[in-house]
């Protein structure tokens, strides 16, 4: 991070801003991951007025090789600046633009200390407590890339509890086998060697 020689005034301004800015609603939806997020447009719209009232402004611009610089400026001339690496999926304009937008959103949130919350229009509050617990369990249990260290089967999610489990847990129990759900890379860094005796799991 880079900063001006002094940051006294910008520190006061940031404290003023953070005391006024509202929690940002998650107004966008990712159908692939079935999750909600705060769009860049919503972030900017939410922070625009409290930033101005605190004498703050910001600028973001691509630089170097796939990098993004975010600078927070104060009317006193003091500033805070940080540059992060962007990792687009490929070199197409669409992928580059998407990666820049994604990083702009997260860089702004990190630098300004913004918080986001999910705006579900009260739907979550109206669900039975058991369903809420299940949803929470699913959100907390990230099974992507997890397998059983005993039989190497991909982990599944229980519709009842929302937690991950091995599809062969009954067989393990009958045989008295102990097992854990771990990430593939923990068992073996060589993916081909890991699956050579269980090709159906590829």
Cβ-contact 63, 48 below 8 angstroms? no
What SS3 state is found at 29?
Answer: strand
For residue 33, what are the CA distances in angstroms to 37, 105, 165? 11, 18, 20
Predicted pLDDT at 30: 64
**Tens-digit pLDDT profile for residues 165-182:** 888 888 888 888 887 877
pLDDT category at 117 given cuts 50, 70, 90 is low
Read off the pTM.
Answer: 0.55
Q: In degrees, to the nearest 5, what angle opens at C-alpha 49 toward C-alphas 53 and 82? A: 85
Pairing of strands 164-165, 181-183: unpaired
Which positions ≥6 away from 145 have C-beta within 8 Å? Answer: 183, 184, 185
Cα–Cα dist 141/135, whole Å = 10
- Contacts of 168 by beta carbon, 8 Å cutoff, 6+ apart: 148, 150, 151, 153
More confidently predicted of 3 and 117: 3
CA end-to-end span of the chain, whole Å? 43
Confidence grade of residue 72 (pLDDT, cut at 50, 70, 90): very high
């Amino acid at each position: 991070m880079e900063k001006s020689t002094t940051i006294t005034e910008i520190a006061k301004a940031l404290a003023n801003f953070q005391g006024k800015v509202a929690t940002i609603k998650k107004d966008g939806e990712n159908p692939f991951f079935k999750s909600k997020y705060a769009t860049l447009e919503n972030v900017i719209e939410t922070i625009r007025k409290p930033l101005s009232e605190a004498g703050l402004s910001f600028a973001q611009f691509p630089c170097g090789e796939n990098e993004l610089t975010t600078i927070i400026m104060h009317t006193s001339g003091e500033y805070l600046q940080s540059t992060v690496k962007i990792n687009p999926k490929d070199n197409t304009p669409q992928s580059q633009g998407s990666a820049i937008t994604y990083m702009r959103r997260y860089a702004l949130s990190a630098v300004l200390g913004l918080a986001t919350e999910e705006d579900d229009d009260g739907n979550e509050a109206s669900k039975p407590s058991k369903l809420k617990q299940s949803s929470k369990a699913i959100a907390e249990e990230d099974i992507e890339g997890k397998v059983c260290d005993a039989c190497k089967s991909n982990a599944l999610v229980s519709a009842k509890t929302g937690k991950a489990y091995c599809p062969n847990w009954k067989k393990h129990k009958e045989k008295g086998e102990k097992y854990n759900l771990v990430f593939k890379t923990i068992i073996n860094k060589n993916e081909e060697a890991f699956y050579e005796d269980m090709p159906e799991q590829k």
